[in-house]
Amino acid sequence: MRAAHRILRDVFGFDAFRPGQEEIVEAVAAGENVLAIMPTGGGKSLCYQLPALMRDGLTVVISPLIALMRDQVAAMRAAGVSAGALTSANTEDETAAVHDALADGRLSLLYMAPERLASGAVPAMLRRAGVGLIAVDEAHCVSQWGHDFRPDYLRIGQLRRHLGVPLAAFTATADAETRAEIVEKLFDGAAPRQFLRGFDRPNIHLAFRPKDGPRRQILDFAAARKGQPGIVYCGTRAKTETLAQALREAGHNACAYHGGMEAGDRRDVEARFNAEDGLVVVATVAFGMGVDKPDIRWVAHADLPKSIEAYYQEIGRAGRDGAPAETLTLFGPDDIRLRRTQIDEGLAPPERRSADHARLNALLGLAEALTCRRATLLEYFGEAAEPCGNCDLCAAPPEAFDATQAVRKALSAMLRTGESFGAGHLIDILTGKATEKVRARGHDDLPTFGVGGELDRAGWQGVFRQMMGRDLARPDPDRRGALRMTEAARPILRGEAGITLRRDTLAPAPRRPAARQLVSEEDAPLLSALKAKRRALAEAAGVPAYIVFNDRTLIEMAERRPDSLDALAGISGVGQKKLEQYGAAFLEVINGAQEAVHPARRRLAGRAAGTLYDQLLAAQADLARGSDGTEKPLSCSASQLARVAATRPADAEALARLLGEKRAERFGPAFLDVLRTAD
């Protein structure tokens, strides 16, 4: 097998693995069955792409979305790897080309949607193609009660048995229950080697805000990040349309995306998002797993996500290149009522509904946290963390107060009114507001009428929202959302426990500045020029801009300003194929027009052989007319020098076989001196 580190450098352009990648690559390359849970943006794809180049046979990748597959195939081809995809979006010519490559044994990677496994001809085709490994992306889709369940994922285990090959499954979000389901469905219950990597994404700033004019809040957040690519998630299709229109009216390049759109229109949005700089997509969760754009700088939620896993996956689409990214999640009582009702009225069995409420509780606990959000989030995934310094609560700790008496008053008002009313009516009672509805029901005669004068209406709204967030009170779908007390509230009502809440006045938060500049003010003009060159090259090739180079690579170019192909080869993300294809164009942007480099020398850039080539060229120049300078000019071709530098012949005889007798006679001793010195 080819050395993993050499492939990592030459093909992918990286000098080192990210934390956790190397041992997963080793296990997959060794043919072990593997289940790897890695954070979104943690480099899952490389953990099956690199082993595909180390192992014999074809690696078939089961992936859930066509857009994701097409982008990964383009990225692999740009890196010089033979890859193809069989999808419903292929043209006849594309499908024929893939089948020809399969028949000839030329493909290293074949991407397929799980739905294709429904065809009985597919397993036989894959057996003929010599599949040596199955890789499953987004493996949590096999979980029947998960939020991304795909029925055809259930066929993958059967395919593994039919082909008799190892399987590597990858996902970013899988709790213990989902992991057990993956093992059962994909590995027939035989435990694979499991890797559970850290969930932390330290480059992502986390922030939540109670809703207080949510459209304005989203527009303010987007305005501070104008020109940066972002996603706004909405709970309804209609809201995506109206909010996208509002963003366009505010001067943003924005469009909507939801499941009710025609398939062609959705593909157009996906293509625009990948190709255009600074596009904002306002979407439902339909704009999900297929998003592989590494330079999304911000993600906002106009409505509360369904669960903490969904939240983690959706914010994880930001900052996949490792550069700073920001998030904002808005939430309010209506969101909580909606999510509770969706769970209660769903078709899941009681134990599943209970688990879904627990997941929602975890998200609401994160939303209502009093201390570092990142520590709270990571604790849910079983990790301990110190305060991060990169969330809204670390930047501005909230004011908290002992809310025990306030919560007891709220619970008392709920119980004395038969748990038949929502927060608005209960707040009227607590604040002593004798509305017609209060008087008609005699609630102005209750002992709790007017006992809540210590808080204004906004303060009580915050208390009730936090009570729902702490699962002390739940909206009852059978009573049009009336609040009822949960068992968790009884100790507080009885005086057996206390509770601390944030003093929530819904005061507008100071607008955070745009995500800090990716480069210094001095380097910013060069970064813009590099992005312009990238955009032109991507448009000419018909691929997303990040397929050429991602933002992180361009940032490193702008900061380090490489002045040669050798120096450019040391930039993270610049593999050998991309160096040959794009190196000269980007060096010209960085340093202006330069002398053309022979292709034979260009192929050695970034390697020790490149330095040897330069030393051999210098030695040749000294002897071009012989040692006394009077002989007929003679030189070696660039290809000959490159072969000498790459193979390092050990003696005059081996050198003569490469150069011929005449050239070996003139240059041999000097060249061998160069080679010995290098050793």
Q: How confident is the model at residue 506 (pLDDT cuts 50, 70, 90)?
A: very low
Full DSSP string of 367-421? HT-SS-HHHHHHHHTT------S-BHHHHSPPPEEE-HHHHHHHHHHHHHTTT--
Q: Among 141-145, 321-325, 483-487, 495-499, which is the least confidently predicted range?
A: 141-145
Q: How many domains does the chain have?
A: 5
222-235 pLDDT, tens digit per residue, is 999 988 899 999 99
Query: For the chain, percent helix, then strand, then coil, each to nearest 5?
Result: 50, 10, 40
How far is Cα of residue 34 from the mean position of the Cα atoms in its chain? 21
Please count the CA atoms within 13 angstroms of the CA of 658 that sit on its side-chain side. Answer: 24
Distance CA(363)–CA(377), nearest Å, equals 8
Distance CA(373)–CA(286), nearest Å, equals 26
Task: Quote the pLDDT of residue 47.
Answer: 95
Residue type at position 581: Q
Q: Among 116-125, 209-218, 473-482, 589-598, which is the least confidently predicted range?
A: 589-598
Per the domain annotation, does 297 fall within a domain?
A: yes
Same domain, 148 and 171: yes
CA quadruple 15, 16, 22, 25: dihedral positive or negative?
A: negative
- φ and ψ at 569, to 5 degrees? -65, -20
Per the domain annotation, does 27 fall within a domain?
A: yes
Per the domain annotation, does 512 fall within a domain?
A: no
The arithmetic mean of pLDDT across residues 126-145, rounded, is: 89
CB 544 within 8 A of CB 293: yes
Same domain, 51 and 190: yes
The arithmetic mean of pLDDT across residues 252-262, rounded, is: 92
Residue 71: domain span = 4-196
The arithmetic mean of pLDDT across residues 401-426, rounded, is: 94
Task: Quote the pLDDT of residue 199.
Answer: 83
Question: Angle at Cα 533 formed by Cα 532 and Cα 535, nearest 5°?
Answer: 65
Exposed / middle / buried, residue 628 (Cβ in 10 Å: 0-12, 13-18, 19+): exposed
Asked if the model's pLDDT at residue 5 lies above 80, the reply is yes
Task: Quote the pLDDT of residue 513.
Answer: 47
How far is Cα of residue 333 from the mean position of the Cα atoms in its chain? 29
Per the domain annotation, does 330 fall within a domain?
A: yes
CA quadruple 382, 388, 391, 397: dihedral positive or negative?
A: positive
The arithmetic mean of pLDDT across residues 378-396, rounded, is: 89
Task: Quote the pLDDT of residue 328.
Answer: 97
User: Which neighbouring-strand residues pair with 666?
Assistant: none
Count of C-beta atoms within a 10 Å radius of residue 511: 11
CB 480 within 8 A of CB 419: no
Q: How confident is the model at residue 210 (pLDDT cuts 50, 70, 90)?
A: very high
Task: Quote the pLDDT of residue 132.
Answer: 94
CB 171 within 8 A of CB 185: no
Per the domain annotation, does 390 fall within a domain?
A: yes
Same domain, 101 and 167: yes
Q: How confident is the model at residue 112 (pLDDT cuts 50, 70, 90)?
A: very high
The residue among 150, 174, 196 that closes a domain is 196
Buried b (16+ CB within 10 A) or exposed e, 352-368: ebebbbebbbbbbbbbb
Per the domain annotation, does 274 fall within a domain?
A: yes
Same domain, 222 and 164: no
Same domain, 26 and 153: yes
The residue among 175, 196, 217 that closes a domain is 196
Per the domain annotation, does 179 fall within a domain?
A: yes
Distance CA(360)–CA(343), nearest Å, equals 9
Residue 307 has what DSSP assignment?
Answer: S
Task: Quote the pLDDT of residue 71.
Answer: 82
- The highest-confidence range among 304-313, 423-432, 573-582, 658-667, by mean pLDDT, is 423-432
Per the domain annotation, does 466 fall within a domain?
A: yes
Same domain, 126 and 183: yes
Count of C-beta atoms within a 10 Å radius of residue 50: 27
Asked if the model's pLDDT at residue 596 lies above 90, the reply is no
Residue 9 has what DSSP assignment?
Answer: I
Q: Are strands 83-86 and 131-136 parallel, antiparallel or unpaired?
A: unpaired
Same domain, 413 and 384: no
Distance CA(247)–CA(151), nearest Å, equals 37
Task: Quote the pLDDT of residue 1.
Answer: 45
Same domain, 331 and 390: yes
Same domain, 26 and 77: yes
Task: Quote the pLDDT of residue 247.
Answer: 97
The residue among 163, 196, 229 that closes a domain is 196
Percentage of the chain modeled with pLDDT above 70: 95
Q: Among 46-50, 281-285, 539-543, which is the least confidently predicted range?
A: 539-543
| CATH code for the domain in which residue 620 is found | 1.10.150
Q: What is the pTM of this model?
A: 0.74
Q: How confident is the model at residue 592 (pLDDT cuts 50, 70, 90)?
A: confident
Give the residue with greater pLDDT, 173 vs 615. Answer: 615
Distance CA(370)–CA(391), nearest Å, equals 12
| CATH code for the domain in which residue 428 is found | 1.10.10.10
CB 544 within 8 A of CB 71: yes
- φ and ψ at 204, to 5 degrees? -95, 125
Same domain, 386 and 367: yes
Same domain, 209 and 339: yes
Residue type at position 161: R
SS3 letters across 145-160: CCCCCCHHHHHHHHHH
| CATH code for the domain in which residue 578 is found | 1.10.150.80
- What tokens does 267 get? 């593909």
| CATH code for the domain in which residue 160 is found | 3.40.50.300
Distance CA(105)–CA(98), nearest Å, equals 10
Distance CA(516)–CA(86), nearest Å, equals 41
| Residue found under tokens 């209506």 | 334
- For 304, the 3-state DSSP assignment is coil
Q: Which residues contact 363 (CB under 8 A, 6 or more apart)?
A: 304, 305, 307, 308, 311
- What tokens does 223 get? 């305005």
- What tokens does 90 get? 């292929």
Same domain, 181 and 62: yes
